[in-house]
Amino acid sequence: MFLHQQDSSVCPELFAIDANVLITENPAIDYVFSEEVAHTLQYDFKKLSANPSRLALEHAFGAAFHKGLGAPLLAATNKYVNPGSIEQYASQVYNKSNIALVASGAPHAQLSKWTTEFFGDLKTGSKVSSSATKYFGGEARVSSAAGSSYIIAFPGTPSSPNFKAEYKVLTHLLGGETAVKWNAGFSLLSRAVAEFPGVSAVAKQQHFTDAGLLYITVEGPDALLEKAGQAVVKAINDVTKVSEEEVKKAIAQAKFDVLSEVEGRSIGLELVGQSLLQNGTAPQADTVVRAIEAVTADSVKKVHHLLFYLPSPMTLLIHTRLLRTY
């Protein structure tokens, strides 16, 4: 639960989303699910299916982790998602051991008042536990009428306190995105696909409590994707040739990225909440920044060697109308 408003008058509205009350004590849950939630779920799934890159990432997570992080976010059918299963899940999960209340800019008196009113009768229960996340890797090929996209993915870094700064810097070193409009950029991936009109290749990282995924999304016209993919692989290998200056630029971008997340209250509070639930401590931005500043070109190349040269599973997901072999 995250609260980030200065105006205390909005507290009731935000606190009113106590999921335990809404789900386990709501007599109209059957109606709400059939009339509102079910249609929204189907709409979200159709929206996902119409976006090749998002669908590719969904399957990349499945190939990488199989279960847990690899489980699909959206259900193709509501057959196994119903009021009964939701209520059962809520009764097991929504208790004092599994909720972190994080606030920023909220008056303490108002915070205490609404916390007592909306969460005072929250039931006690066991903390949700799960097995450690394991990276498998593999390959998935899925037909998509919406277009073509593929993802090359590798193990990434988990979030704090086991965050590994070299992975963050490596992601920015590969790059692909530019902050300057109408400019392709000068990162390794930007230069790699510059000669292929309409093709983009972007490296990103998603990190979770005990695992992460570093992935490169390549999308564009079908006719160019094969050759563009070859150029992307070459760019990945070229990490071993980068200069100290290029690494310094990637370090600066990684620091900016971290500080931007902290300043963005919604994202920052979410990260704090996740850390509190996982290990009972709040992540410190200055600690992460210092770790990034300590990264060197040699340490980045070492991580690159670990990911791309030693025997390690790689996730390759291709979306194409014809399911051609790349």
Helix (H, G, I), strand (E, B) or coil at 91: helix
Q: Which value, to the nearest 10 degrees, does the dihedral of the CA atoms of residues 288, 289, 294, 297 take?
A: 100
For residue 79, what are the domain limits? 2-119
Query: What pLDDT is attached to residue 298?
Result: 94
Average pLDDT over residues 245-251: 93
Give the pLDDT band of residue 326 (cuts 50, 70, 90): very low
Domain CATH code at residue 247: 3.30.830.10
With tokens 């971290």, the residue in question is: 258
Query: What pLDDT is attached to residue 16?
Result: 39
4 has pLDDT over 50:
no
Backbone angles phi, psi at 18, to 5 degrees: -55, 105
CA–CA separation, 33 vs 89, rounded Å? 15
Q: Are strands 315-319 and 138-142 parallel, antiparallel or unpaired?
A: parallel
Could you tell me if residue 313 is inside a domain?
A: yes
Could you tell me if residue 133 is inside a domain?
A: no
Statement to judge: residues 238 and 110 lie in one domain: no
Give the pLDDT band of residue 6 (cuts 50, 70, 90): very low
Backbone angles phi, psi at 203, to 5 degrees: -95, 135
User: With contact defined as beta carbons under 8 Å apart, do 204 and 211 qualify?
Assistant: no
Query: What pLDDT is attached to residue 18?
Result: 44
H/E element, 301: helix 297-308
Average pLDDT over residues 17-44: 70
* Domain count of the fold of the chain: 2
Could you tell me if residue 286 is inside a domain?
A: yes
Condensed to tens digits (0 to 9), the pLDDT of residues 213-222 reads 999 999 888 8
CA–CA separation, 89 vs 78, rounded Å? 15
Helix (H, G, I), strand (E, B) or coil at 323: coil
Condensed to tens digits (0 to 9), the pLDDT of residues 72-101 reads 888 777 777 888 888 888 888 888 888 888
Statement to judge: residues 193 and 249 lie in one domain: yes
Query: What pLDDT is attached to residue 11?
Result: 45
313 has pLDDT over 60:
no
Statement to judge: residues 168 and 250 lie in one domain: yes
